[in-house]
Amino acid sequence: MTTAARTGPFAHFASDFTASIVVFLVAMPLCMGIAVASGVPPEMGLVTGIIGGIIVGFFAGSPLQVSGPAAGLAVIVFEFVREHGIAALGPMLVVAGVIQLVAGMLRMGGLFRSISPAVVHGMLAGIGALIVVGQFHTLFDAKPMSSGLENLAAMPGRVLGLSLDVQATELALAIGLLTIVVMLGWEKLRPASLKLVPGALLGVMAATLVAFGLGLDVARVTVPESIGAAFSVPGDSFLGFLASPAILIAAIAVAFIASAETLLSAAAVDRMHDGVRTDYNKELRAQGIGNFLCGVLGGLPMTGVIVRSSANVQAGAQTRLSTILHGAWILGFVALLPWLLREIPMAALGGVLVVTGWRLVSLDHVKHLLQVHGRLPAMIWAVTFVLVVATDLLTGVLVGLALSLIELLPFYRNLKLKVEQKDHEDVTHVDLGGAATFLSLTRLNSVLEALPDNRSVKLGLDGLHGMDHTTAQTLSEWLGRRKKRGVPVEVTGSSEIMRPLALAH
């Protein structure tokens, strides 16, 4: 009886309940802000947050990962809606969800983990830059332009257009700056006992209270009067859109990017705790179900999101109940307090997203690539970043993936990876030979992650004649997880092969 209670769905109810409140407070402003950045009504972000919590949380292969609208897809949704209209978004998400569901059923989850980290981080940095230059205009109660370069070119005009005669534009900017100052100030100065209180929430609260208290004439969030109106049903044109080639191309892009971001986030979440490891194929299927429902019910595309997931782990979540409850809190808030959401200034959400976007533009990633893995991965990051900003998301990612093939050239005569595993007394020996590249990473991951924690491991890399940065990063992270759990691992190999692993730790 006692054992059943400990392993039941409510065995950790107190810690999961507390964590769900923290995640809810982090998620609310981000759900609405990402919708605004995507060029759609804020309630669409809330719909995705609800589905990501209640539905995807139930089916997820990564129990502690939180799913919802992601800044990483805001740019592609903005461009899609501008070109095809908001009515086409639902059909596109239905197709994207089906693609993810089928990919999960075909056990393709491991393939997405083989994507070059340089491409992924370059893509995220480019998205972050686009969000910053786009939401800069939201701080002035203005709509972003249709492209990143246009937004960038218009920024000086916004600043030069300010005047000492305080009107709506100047008031909106003051509200946005107040949000940013409170958000960053709190995160820097908050006491350790209140570290779980999110700065984004306090920034939005401060801006809302000032705008309401002073009766400021600034643009505010528009949300439906009732919860039923937040969810939309497919219209007459729904099936017609499904036959469009443009819809299919966009759906493939969204499915690919959302899956990669989700599974990379899940891998990061696994590094934060010692609980149940991610089932990547199950997580991919859950995301497919979620995006399918978002398409049917009028939401934004979803992914697993690292900011909300890390908040969940840090708040002490133990099971998937925390994620499910956070979706229920969003649903209850939208149903019972829509009037409160309508008091939030748009500029406040713009301020939150400027900070969020800026954090995605992390130069630490490219510095790490350059110092640990050399010039080529750093160049791939830079090219992906520039093309995402200057052209579009899909072009940047495809060119980045093409450039990552250059890493295979030194090994073109022998691209095979040999993996030999044998047990000797209480030590498991894993010997690698040949070329360790992203082409064989799925197989390598399956071997490494199947190794038991109750045995020491001796990893022999002496037989390798080369290793790309994607594999080096994966091995480094695996070694870090084993070390954190206190499981001994001895690694041997040439100095050239060992160098990126030594520098990474």
pLDDT in tens, 481-500: 888 778 888 999 888 888 88
Q: Is 415 helix (H, G, I), strand (E, B) or coil?
A: coil
Angstrom distance (rounded) from CA 28 to CA 418: 48
pLDDT at 8: 59
What gap in Å lies between CA 456 and CA 453, rounded to an integer?
Answer: 8
C-alpha atoms less than 13 angstroms from C-alpha of 456 in its C-beta half-sphere? 9
Residue 303 has pLDDT above 60, yes or no: yes
Rounded (to 5) percent helix, strand, coil in the chain: 70, 10, 25
H or E segment to which residue 127 belongs:
helix 117-138
pLDDT for 180: 96
- What is the model's pLDDT at position 150? 86
The pLDDT confidence band at residue 4, using thresholds 50, 70 and 90, is very low
| pLDDT score at 66 | 95
Rounded CA-CA distance 335/206 in Å is: 23
Kindly state the average pLDDT of the residues 204-208: 95
- Highest mean pLDDT, choosing among 148-152, 438-442, 476-480: 438-442
Percent of residues, the chain, with pLDDT higher than 70: 97
Distance CA 444, CA 432 (A): 9
Strands 66-69 and 489-492, sheet pairing: unpaired
**Greatest mean pLDDT among 7-11, 124-128, 146-150:** 124-128
* Mean pLDDT, rounded, for 180-205: 90
Hunting for tokens 């995160």 — which residue is that? Answer: 187
- The pLDDT of residue 128 is 87
* DSSP string across 270-318: HTT-SSPPP-HHHHHHHHHHHHHHHHHHT---EEEEHHHHHHHHHTT--
The Cα 304–Cα 65 span in angstroms is: 6
Domain extents for the chain?
13-347, 417-504
Per-residue pLDDT at 68 exceeds 80? yes
- Secondary structure (3-state) at 49: helix
Reported as a single tens digit per residue, the pLDDT across 157-189 is 988 888 777 788 899 999 999 999 999 999 899
Which pLDDT score, from 0 to 100, does residue 161 have? 84
Answer yes or no: is pLDDT of 10 > 60.
yes
What are 109's two structure tokens? 């989850």
How many C-beta neighbours within 10 Å does residue 152 have?
A: 18
Choose among 67, 65, 60, 92: nearest CA to 77. Answer: 92
**Can you say whether the dihedral through the CA atoms of 478, 479, 485, 490 is positive or negative?**
positive
Token pair in block for residue 19: 């964590």
* Separation between Cα atoms, residue 205 and residue 183, nearest integer Å: 10
**CATH dotted code for 417-504:** 3.30.750.24
Among 43-52, 54-63, 266-275, 281-290, the range scoring the smallest mean pLDDT is: 266-275
